Amino acid sequence: MCGIIGIVSNKPVTSNIIQSLKKLEYRGYDSAGIATIVNGNIDEKKCTGRVDNLEKILFKYPSAGFLGIGHVRWATHGIPSQINAHPHSSDEVSVVHNGIIENSNQLKKDLEKKGYKFKSQTDTEVITVLLTDFLKHFDLISSINKTLKKLNGSFALGILIKKHKDIVVGARRGSPLAVGYGPEENYLGSDSYALKSMTNRITYLDDGDVCILTNSKIEFYNSKNQKVNKKVLTLSNDKNTAEKGDYKDFMSKEINEQHITTKTCIKEYVDQLRQDINLYSFPIKPENIKKIILIGCGTAYHSCFMAKYWFEEMMSIPIEIDIASEFRYRKIKFDKKNLYVFVSQSGETADTFAALDLCKKNNVKTCSIVNAVESSIARHSDFVLPIHAGPEIGVASTKAFVGQMLVLYILGIKISEIRKEISKENYLKKINELKQLPDLIKLTLKCQDKIQIIAKDFLNAKGVMFLGRGFSFPIALEGALKLKELSYLHAEGYPAGEMKHGPLALIEEGLPVIILAPKDRYFEKTISNMQEVIARGGKVILITNENRNVISENVRFTLKIPNADEYLTPFLMTIPLQLLAYHVASLKNYDIDKPRNLAKSVTVE
């Protein structure tokens, strides 16, 4: 969640650190800070709020250091405040940290017995004090290793040391950390996106690795303190796609480009000439798969839920879905004939990576569906399927969710075709229908004017309910999540058939209820559930592709989406729900791209 940047150069680094921190703002944060070494001393500056506030402080009190570390913090230990903001510095050491030190309280007590005093409420400050203490008695590498061995939990660290005034130290365990190579300067960052404006030559640290950066070289040490060489990757240049352009915010841009990103993704996976899906080198032969387990968190979990419905329709094998944070703590019965699929936009989601790591330790076959092919989850999976959505900056996922569903759907079609569970005719039909999806999404996006009118009805609501059956149920869950994330309204998604089993008690006069009712096998039953809502005073917003007028009586708003194959309709149902969440939040003047308390890349448990 927090963002780290470190730079060692032959010129002042403050400006580049600030610009890199702005690139990391998408991760979510409540404070920011920077530390450099100036005239042989650590110069620390930090503040609450946005990086812009830190930039103003540096304008008033410049720092001319040739090396430095910066941080945007998302609070875990200690309230958002200037004292709790990173870096945390002693006279000798300054540290920025992403992760959680689980034994920080005990370490703090031990260090206080030695006479050390702590200024903050954070877990991170124990790292600063520990390293300061070890440096009194040991050399640099020994002090770092002894410090890291004392820490329980996860961390990505950037460290400055006063008496080593030409180096920045990086270390990781659990949380991601990247190293970048530049001309006469080198970089440390939480992810490659923060470094891309300066370099496209990147190396990723593995768990237990330590790196020592100067402006002319980088040295790596593994968990056994052995010097190692690391592979340097050259990243593609997609910086232009991470700009807002003429849009007010990133989320608006990302919603409105979904027809483009789906078209790109389909082109990557569908061979137009052979009318085939290009998926090869499966980690396990599809014919031999005993069960598929789909694992994710938040929005990614909802894409897994959607895929469960699709897969069960197309295949005869059992399909399970799991929330990653629950998966890793249960007594899982692993089976080498199962395929474990991990879904994550960033590819760095801590719980999802931990679940993947557990699978790897049990020698089962893994597949990842990610937006960042150089991410930790991608690099540790047996098989990687990128969603090709381009950078997604808005914290509330939109185009990445559609991309995850799309790749899962493509995966399902291909596996069922290989297993001969759908006919060749049906396989070709699904491919041809898939090609129509970008245009259908583009057409659906034209509902924005009506959505803006509908959004006004939500300004005084105390809660919202989303109801759907079958393929529409996972979309109802995602619609509720989007509204919660952006507008801070209490919102719940339910299977419409569950209304009488509790949720009906919540229906009262004026409560907005979104009914997802495409013309499918559940249509009549869903409309019956809608009538139950209307009878109790609920304010119904009906989203459907059914064109008969008889169903619109007593419905507050009816929003029509284009007709499409029932397997593709969930994509189209998703669009108005994204727009609804966006416009409700916009009317409330909330920060669209950075909702409170949330982070784009959840890299701590």
Catalytic residue ranges: 2, 600
Contact by Cβ (8 Å): 205, 229: no
Per DSSP, what are the bridge partners of residue 371?
Answer: none
Question: Cα(first)–Cα(last) distance of the chain, in Å?
Answer: 10
What does the alpha-carbon distance between residue 60 and residue 78 come to, in Å, rounded to a whole number? 28
Edge to edge, the sheet with strand 41-48 lists: 41-48, 31-38, 67-73, 3-8, 185-189, 178-182, 201-204, 233-234
Phi, psi dihedrals of residue 159, rounded to the nearest 5°? -135, 135
The pair of three-digit structure tokens given for residue 544, joined into one six-digit string: 């459907």
Per DSSP, what are the bridge partners of residue 319?
Answer: 292
- Looking at the chain, the number of H-run helices and the number of E-run strands are 19, 27
Q: In sequence order, what are the residues at sequence separation of 6 or more whose Cβ sits closer than 8 angstroms to the Cβ of residue 436?
A: 564, 568
Contact by Cβ (8 Å): 341, 321: no
What does the alpha-carbon distance between residue 408 and residue 308 come to, in Å, rounded to a whole number? 9
Length of the chain: 605
Q: In sequence order, what are the residues at sequence separation of 6 or more whose Cβ sits closer than 8 angstroms to the Cβ of residue 242?
A: 193, 390, 391, 393
The pair of three-digit structure tokens given for residue 291, joined into one six-digit string: 């069960």
Q: How far lies 76's CA from each of 93, 169, 263, in Å?
A: 22, 23, 39
182 residue type, one letter? G
301: which DSSP letter? H
The pair of three-digit structure tokens given for residue 222, joined into one six-digit string: 């593994």
Q: How far lies 386's CA from each of 180, 201, 438, in Å?
A: 23, 20, 18
C-beta neighbour count of 442 within 10 angstroms:
17
DSSP class per residue in 529-558: HHHHHHHTT-EEEEEES---GGGGTT-SEE
